[in-house]
Amino acid sequence: MSEYHRPIMVDEVLEGLAIRPGGVYFDGTAGGGGHSYAILASDPTVRLIATDKDGDAIRAAGERLAPFAGRFQLFRTDFKNYEAVLSAAGVDALDGYLLDLGISSHQIDDARRGFAYRSDDAPLDMRMDDRTPLTAETVVNEYPEEALVRILREYGEETFAPSIVRTLVREREKGRIRTCGALRDIIERSVPARYRYNACARKTFQAIRIEVNGELDGLRECVEGLTRRLKKGGRACILTFHSLEDRIVKNVFRSMSEGCTCPKSFPVCVCGKKQEIELVNRKPITAGEEEQRINSRSASAKLRVARKVE
**What are the residue boundaries of the structural domains of the chain, listed by start?**
10-101+217-308, 110-213
Q: How far apart are the first and last CA of the chain?
A: 42
* pLDDT value at residue 280: 97
> Tens digit of pLDDT for each residue in 23-42?
999 999 999 899 999 999 99
In 3D space, the residue among 76, 4, 16 whose CA is nearest the CA of residue 239 turns out to be 16
Q: Rounded to whole angstroms, how far apart are CA atoms 193 and 85? A: 49
The reply to whether 10-101+217-308 and 110-213 are identical in fold is no
> Tens digit of pLDDT for each residue in 230-279?
999 999 999 999 999 999 999 999 999 998 888 888 888 888 888 999 99
The CATH class for the domain spanning 10-101+217-308 reads alpha beta
* pLDDT value at residue 211: 97
* pLDDT value at residue 103: 80
Sort strands 230-240 and 302-308 into parallel, antiparallel or unpaired.
Answer: antiparallel
Q: Rounded to whole angstroms, how far apart are CA atoms 183 and 205? A: 9
To 10 degrees, the CA torsion angle through 246, 252, 257, 263?
120
Beta bridge partners of 202: none
* pLDDT value at residue 221: 98
DSSP H/E element including 240: strand 230-240
* pLDDT value at residue 1: 37
**Which residues of the chain are modeled with pLDDT < 70?**
1-5, 108-109, 111, 198
Q: Rounded to whole angstroms, how far apart are CA atoms 302 and 284? A: 5
Which CATH number applies to 110-213: 1.10.1060.10, 1.10.150.170, 3.40.50.360, 1.50.10.150? 1.10.150.170
**Angle between helix 180-190 and helix 202-213 axes, rounded to 10 deg:** 130
In 3D space, the residue among 25, 29, 24, 89 whose CA is nearest the CA of residue 58 turns out to be 29
* pLDDT value at residue 129: 94
